[in-house]
A and B are shown apart, each in its own frame.
Chain A
Amino acid sequence: EAQVTQNPRYLITVTGKKLTVTCSQNMNHEYMSWYRQDPGLGLRQIYYSMNVEVTDKGDVPEGYKVSRKEKRNFPLILESPSPNQTSLYFCASSLGGAPNQPQHFGDGTRLSIL
């Protein structure tokens, strides 16, 4: 089954404790992306990747890091989480070197930073 898998689905942690949210897709998609969703603000893109070893900032990259060492994986790293990063996070992927293709979203990760 074609899917985008995020882990964990839920996480409560404390300020300053490094965390990683993993994202994996099994569709051989080239374009992958991370979003955060906050009430009234819709989805805001954090980082995206056009292919292996190619990443770029979206609209809200501050406080986040990503890496793309393999095509299927695109982890989101919070080196020193803060309460304003409490949010619902989605990973997405789409086919092709250009992103003008339908994006498939994961089920989301709800992060609470205390």
Chain B
Amino acid sequence: GENVEQHPSTLSVQEGDSAVIKCTYSDSASNYFPWYKQELGKRPQLIIDIRSNVGEKKDQRIAVTLNKTAKHFSLHITETQPEDSAVYFCAALMGYGQNFVFGPGTRLSVLP
């Protein structure tokens, strides 16, 4: 079946540094790519998303880039803060169905 790979699985950065998480997907027909943040014991919450007709999207300290040719997309967090510590999941909407496939997650730790 289709899959989404996500790297790294864990990431530690110093407060104020940038963090980058990368995902690759297998279905070339995928057209929607959301990113979710999940704090310990909480529900996943959407932080940013991008559609296939756009190459980059930014929302304050968070940005997502999409390379459709290479079938990968990345989350960029600048000026990281301790409250950014969480597990981040990327996902891809499969093109021919209407189902989502999630990456396995990245545990981000922002060290003060």
Contacts from A to B (Cβ < 8 Å): 31, 33, 35, 40-45, 48, 50, 56-59, 90, 98-100, 102-103, 105-108
Contacts and interface: CB of A to CB of B under 8 A. Distances in A.
B102 A44 contact: yes
Contacts, number: 58
Interface in B56-104: 89, 91, 93, 97-104
Interface of B: 1, 6, 31-32, 34, 42-46, 49, 51, 89, 91, 93, 97-105
Given A42-B103, A48-B99, A103 B34 contact: yes
A31 B34 CA distance: 16
Contact of A56 (B46, B93, B98): B98
A43 B91 CA distance: 9
Given A42-B105, A48-B99, A107 B1 contact: no
A58 B89 CA distance: 18
20 contacts: A31-B98, A42-B6, A42-B102, A42-B104, A42-B105, A43-B91, A43-B100, A45-B99, A56-B98, A58-B100, A59-B101, A90-B43, A90-B44, A99-B98, A100-B31, A100-B32, A103-B46, A106-B43, A107-B42, A107-B43
